[in-house]
Copies of this chain bind each other. A is one copy, B any other.
Amino acid sequence: MYAVATIGRVESPLFDLDAAPRQGDEGAPDAWLVFEPTVRDGLSGLRPGAAIVVLTWLDRARRDILRVHPRGDTSRPEEGVFTTRSPHRPNPIGLHRVTVLAVDDLRVQVSGLEAINGTPIVDIKPVLGEVDER
């Protein structure tokens, strides 16, 4: 076991998990990432236009589920959670590929983020073209 620290929170007009679009398809709203002052130095150099991966902790997910119906469709057979992007999994870490729209000190606006308001942020990383496209 390791302790994951919340380094910020999502500010979003999305308040309902079920209303949240799946997998960032068209429709996910722009949102703000609001970071803790303690990690300010880590944001140095972050600029609008940057393609980043936001890692969140999906704190409303269930961690005791290992099989789910694909896309919640109960007419389809259950699959192992590791073959799905279900939020329900032993470590409910969300991956969100977004583009930085604006940076205002500890507040970073991003495009199309599929995460509800208040979701804890645990990391952000740059997308490295060749690597992530492999």
Which residues from 7 to 52 on chain A have a C-beta closer than 8 Å to any C-beta of chain B? 7, 23-25, 39-46, 50, 52
Q: How far is the CA of A46 from the CA of B97 in the complex (A)?
A: 23
**From B2, B42, B85, B89, contact of A80 by CB (8 A):** B42
In the bound complex, do residue A23 and residue B85 qualify as a contact, i.e. CB atoms below 8 Å apart? no
Taking the complex as formed, is A110 at the interface, i.e. its CB lies under 8 A from any CB of chain B? Answer: no
User: How many copies of the polypeptide does the oligomer hold?
Assistant: 2
SS class, residues of chain A in contact with chain B: mixed
Taking the complex as formed, is A124 at the interface, i.e. its CB lies under 8 A from any CB of chain B? Answer: yes
Given contacts A4-B2, A24-B131, A125-B82, A66 and B95 within 8 Å (CB-CB): no
A104 CB to closest chain B CB (Å) equals 15
In the bound complex, do residue B97 and residue A132 qualify as a contact, i.e. CB atoms below 8 Å apart? yes
A134 CB to closest chain B CB (Å) equals 6
Taking the complex as formed, is A102 at the interface, i.e. its CB lies under 8 A from any CB of chain B? Answer: no
Taking the complex as formed, is A101 at the interface, i.e. its CB lies under 8 A from any CB of chain B? Answer: no
Given contacts A2-B59, A39-B66, A91 and B7 within 8 Å (CB-CB): yes
Other than the given A39-B90, A55-B93, 16 more pairs (CB < 8 A) read: A1-B3, A2-B4, A2-B59, A4-B91, A5-B91, A23-B128, A24-B131, A41-B67, A42-B80, A42-B81, A42-B90, A45-B79, A84-B126, A85-B128, A90-B123, A91-B122
